[in-house]
Structure 1
């Protein structure tokens, strides 16, 4: 699919993340006005609440855009999602008949504050990238036992905390927790010393299910509203002590960052691709009816205090072993009710090469091989003052369907009360 031309000139720039082909959904505020729904187009934000007030768009009897979240729109279902996308194309295409009425409702992106784009109902994080799982397993259990016995049969996951999912730009306070050094007889309590990131994609569930209702992979794919960049911050030393036998807890509960723009599944359709070849045949309920992954280039950048940001890893979402639709199907298979606004983290996305690893744990091989930055500094894990940045886009023919950035600056741990 070629670039779709818009009368918003900046949307036709081949380097923008937000051409007419994209139209991602976010929440913004400006000039003291309340936060409300907006759509990114080039370097502008289309004020959806203003369009609704002007009666240029109406999707429901009740307002759905003069709100600080997109959940109400999600609840209207896939047919309404498609109708909205078609209406936005009519507003913004090069020959739009309503250009004069729409133009006053554009706001420069440079003048807005971006907020959480949804109310996260619940948050589940998966462990579904094979290269990451193999690397981590090799470090802790040896190459011969890198993957647990169930890994090739189902997408492993755990329930996280919706309460600490935050929007890009939110500072991340270094967590406190119990840590047991290998040589110590007893644990101690203090600040995490091995703070890490996890490069992930987040899938947003738009359609709810009833308790006891399983879904097929095809149905799960239709339930997904869109995707965001996701950084599941991780306290590796806290995690090492606490995770057996039930898995991550406080080491993951303190913060998860997401990008402010929800890229819809419709915008990603041209970039569908297949999951990797299976080493073990999956059970029938997890088999995919067609391509369920997306070809999305991803990068991790680090910006130390007072230094320029630099890329430390590049990979692609096509490296995932399990798609978001498979993860959602497995999640609901027991009868677990899924809610509008549920967030599913993909798991760390790493490729086969060293510079394609999506966490510092892997990049520094557990701290044994520190990475050297351009100014000569080294890092095994994140230091106070470092800003970690995720970015990503799908590359089209002369355009990008991008996610913007997902960033967070690490600040010192609090003092314990």
Structure 2
């Protein structure tokens, strides 16, 4: 057993210790990074197997945007279950729930042009489907543009796109050539390091006529909660249009109102050729992913791509109801309120703890606190856990702040006070009481 696994067991409650021992003994090594073992959820709180309730500032890593046990989503899924049909291979037999979901996604995603939708079960599947679509439609263009810090899934087909951590790609064979450019973060020298670099590469080393698609996150999640500069995104898309390069936007973590609008693309005023969705699309009740794309890119033959469980009736019911809830009057205003309150606290944290917090950044209800080093970030997360707050990292030294969008002002204050106390414990000197109000 590794040292960090021993540490997690040490921190865990009596029942959680048993579960963690089994997980470390029998589960394939993945990404367990917390002593918390959840068994029940309500609203923005989750109960541990030892009976204690914790405030969740992760939304299950951007999955449960509507909180835990959203009644309308459960009702939609239960209504479908009563029919006796939960899965009937939508890609072989048309069914009303996934068909309605596809129509709704085509209607609400950016772009006033005909669209098609491919339903699957995860974000990585959606991104792989996007790549297969591009290569099938334009087989002569075998290269892809991605960005440093990118995260697009963990399956073999998306490995060439990955550039957030070396461990994600080590020793895996690459199926195609991806060219990574510096991510055009807000405040960076993107004109020279990103846009300028792409133009220079196109002139000397990278034939643009061989590039099929550019895929990017508008706010990098796993890379460290880094919003892209809107002017840079516009410039990149102009380059792509000039050279007939497709634009694919990965909205797997940013979609479904996480950034304050239904899709982050709306903040940037762009209409991508392809958009991928997952995570919060099913509100954590059922796993689902989707690729929405320009209809003229559709596969020319049946059978070129499919999936068994993608668009199953339960997941489609959950996703359709999720969309309808988010489109109701007032929902967007509630998310704006959450965004305003979170950002106000975080900017004060930066002022109060400037010796250990490098920056705070984000968009909507997707924020990160960057510490001076990863060890400090990890200790702060541990102290938050001791105080009944669940948080998770991003990048090398960022604490991810992504609570359910249904969180109240009092719950935001509760969580931020815990983070404040945790930082005081980990990184003195002590800040006078009353700095965070």
Task: Flag whether TM exceeds 0.5 (same fold).
Answer: no
Query: Which structure is higher in helix share?
Result: 2
TM-score by length of 1: 0.26
Which protein has the bigger strand share? 1
Length-normalised TM-score, structure 2: 0.25
